[in-house]
Amino acid sequence: MTRYSLGAIVLHWLIAFALAFELALGFAMPRGVEGFALFQLHKSVGISILALTILRLGWRLAHPRPAPLESGWAHRMAHAVHVGFYLFMLLAPLTGWALVSTAPIKVPTLLFGTLPLPHLPLADSFNPAVEEAHELLAWFGIALFLLHVAGAVRHEILLRDRLLERMAPGGSRPLGAVLALGVIALGLGAFLSIGGAKPGGEPDSVALAPVAPSPAAQEAADTLPAAEETSPAATESSAPVPIWAISPGGRLTFKLGNGDAGVIEGSFGKWQGAIAFDPERPETADIRITIDLASASVGDSTQDGMLAGDEFFAVSRFSKAVFTAKSARKTGGDRYTASGTLQLKGTSRPQTISFRLTGSGLARKVQGSATVARAAFGVGEGAAAESLDPNVSVNFSFDARGTVPAE
């Protein structure tokens, strides 16, 4: 029986495996911080499919396919599925490319971590349409895939005309069957393992540097002016105010909406605190939290580069953000607020944080949050930030160990 040329066969199976993986990845990749590496992989595999498809079409022109085995409706249907596949193989990657090129936040793409992919020169207003098209095409591809496999099974089981041999390397049906099952297994396996890996759990791919009470923090804590001197309320009681060291493993995260593109979540890997605080006398508090802005990460190195840039933190000029508060207030139970000042990107503004203390004595857990009006600090300027929410919600949690300075 006449077969497809070896080049056509190799390209058919290569693209089939890549597509099964790509579709599974597209549907299963998590959309938050933890998905960024998978997004880069999705874009890399997608563009590879585009390149392979162009090669395949060129090959097809130079090497005509073997004559069809059937005529009539079955032939027309198979032909339609094949044409549909070629359209899908071109349009799915192109709409994906258009999608990232028109996204409100332009995340640079590095194919397989090395080759930069430029953005297509398209107006951002196309974004919703291409996003819709990309998803619809994915479903169209799945429908074609089901029809195509049903057709292959029909030929194998009902017609027994050995059609598979035409597309199998060396004309080997067993090898063709193994490849077909392999494509299906890869698609299902990838979907289940990527989607099931982190069912809504904490992102685990974001490497957080442990927040150790670094020598600098310790020094800051040591040199913190005694609360008696700094707080007006100190006169009410002269007892020393405990100084707290932040234990490793604390988290400082941020989150903000990004229009239709969902929510951006990230964290600061490096920050430290010098905290003098007595839960019974919150008015004597003296809090200073220093955040290393270059450690801000949303889990994707290229997007992190944007965060460090002038439109966001401008870390080359302003490497640190500092929150200071000279007193706190109990708002009920184990809850407190501290109103102080946030110094960020060359601007100082009033800022309130609220937190909750659990635990007892000198071993406490601290959990809290703040809402930061980013624009007031000039964080998030330019077109890249247009659809970003004006408020960033910042959350922190850490364990703290207190020591009472000797009187």
Residue numbers of the site for ligand HEM (CB under 6 A)? Answer: 12, 15-16, 19, 22-23, 26-27, 31, 42-43, 46-47, 49, 60, 65, 68, 78, 82, 85-86, 89, 92-93, 96-97, 99-100, 109, 131, 134-135, 138, 141, 145, 148-149, 152, 163-164, 166-167, 180, 183-184
Residue 61 CB neighbours (<10 A): 8
Asked if residues 81 and 151 have their Cβ atoms less than 8 Å apart, the reply is: yes
Are residues 354 and 388 in contact, defined by beta-carbon separation less than 8 angstroms? Answer: no
Q: What minimum distance in Å lies between the beta carbon of 13 and ligand HEM?
A: 8
Q: How far is the CB of 374 from ligand HEM (least distance, A)?
A: 23
Residue 318 CA from chain centroid, whole number = 25
Residue 26 CB, shortest distance to ligand HEM, in Å, is 2
- Phi and psi at 299, nearest 5°, equal 90, 5
CA atoms within 13 A on the CB side of 354: 8
- Which CB, 85 or 355, lies closer to ligand HEM? 85
- The DSSP string of 144-192 is HHHHHHHHHHIIIIII---GGGGGSGGG-HHHHHHHHHHHHHHHHHHHH
Least separation in angstroms between CB 24 and ligand HEM: 8
Q: How far apart are CA 143 and CA 237, in angstroms?
A: 75
**CB closer to ligand HEM, 89 vs 287:** 89
Provide the token pair at 41.
């992989």
- As measured in angstroms, the least distance from the Cβ of 91 to ligand HEM is 9
Q: CB-wise, 23 or 353, nearer to ligand HEM?
A: 23
| Residue 206 C-beta: closest distance to ligand HEM, Å | 19
Type and span of the H or E element at 137: helix 127-153
Q: Give whole-number Cα distances, 372 to 107, 270, 295, 323, 392, in Å.
A: 23, 19, 18, 11, 5
